[in-house]
Amino acid sequence: MKIVYTSATGFTKQYAEMLSQELQIAALPLSDAKKSLEKGEEIIYMGWLNGGKVEGLRSATSHFGIIAVCAVGMGSPTATVTHDIRSANGFSCPCFYLQGGFDMSKLTGINKVKMQMVFSSFSKQLPPPEKRNAEENKMYDLFVNGGSFVSREKLRIVVDWYDSYRLIIKK
Ligand SMILES: Cc1cc2nc3c(=O)[nH]c(=O)nc-3n(C[C@H](O)[C@H](O)[C@H](O)COP(=O)(O)O)c2cc1C
């Protein structure tokens, strides 16, 4: 069992390394995993959300046996987030959403251009500052100043799931 991840600006990598410590299993980037792991090896896959798609998941699926997916995005979790991620990405194994962060300064190329466009249309739709709700203020601040929501506490749900997965597998 390994943790395999794809990270553009480092938030998913941070979660993968924390989860590696918590579960005592190695974490490695997808590009390395494809060279060094056996085809079909069981993995927990972690990837950042790109327009609702889990980055790297399609490639990881064709190489490995994915037992769970952790998707890392900038948005606050919603009641339907894991259902939405499963249906947009077409998988049925356990899914966890982890709020990562945002850092425009670390983005490059097409990803930076896309997020500049997203920010521009988001800003145009925002009400005037005095009428914004807490979530709108939070997202505006995240776009402008960047920020991280990464915490070990958010991985608790993944660690608890893995503990019960191991018990079931042992039976
Ligand atoms: C092109 C692009 C599309 C994104 N789409 C989403 C999205 O659909 N949902 C979301 O919550 N976050 C979205 N984000 C934010 C990233 O998923 C978030 O910043 C994540 O923490 C990045 O992880 P990383 O640092 O491992 O690359 C997007 C970011 C970029 C650059």
Q: Are 7 and 16 in contact (CB under 8 A)?
A: yes
- Provide the sign of the torsion angle of the four alpha carbons 32, 96, 83, 68, taken in this order: positive
Using DSSP, state whether 102 is helix, strand or coil.
strand
Q: What whole-number distance in Å separates Cα of residue 90 and Cα of residue 162?
A: 22
Give the ligand 1 atom nearest the CA of 107: 31
Q: Which two tokens stand for residue 133?
A: 């709700």
Strand partners, 102: 147
13, 31, 50: residue to mutate for ligand 1 pocket, most atoms within 8 A of CB: 50
Q: Mind listing the pLDDT tens digit for each residue in 33-80?
A: 999 999 999 999 999 999 999 999 999 999 999 999 999 999 999 999
Any idea what DSSP says for residue 111?
A: H
Q: Mind listing the pLDDT tens digit for each residue in 112-149?
A: 999 999 999 999 999 999 999 999 999 999 999 999 99
Q: Are 42 and 3 in contact (CB under 8 A)?
A: no
Q: Cβ of 17: how many Cβ atoms within 10 Å?
A: 14
Nearest to 98 by CA among 47, 161, 141: 47
Q: Which two tokens stand for residue 160?
A: 């608890």
In angstroms, what is the span from residue 21 Cα to ligand 1's centroid?
Answer: 24
* Nearest Cα residue to atom 10 of ligand 1: 73
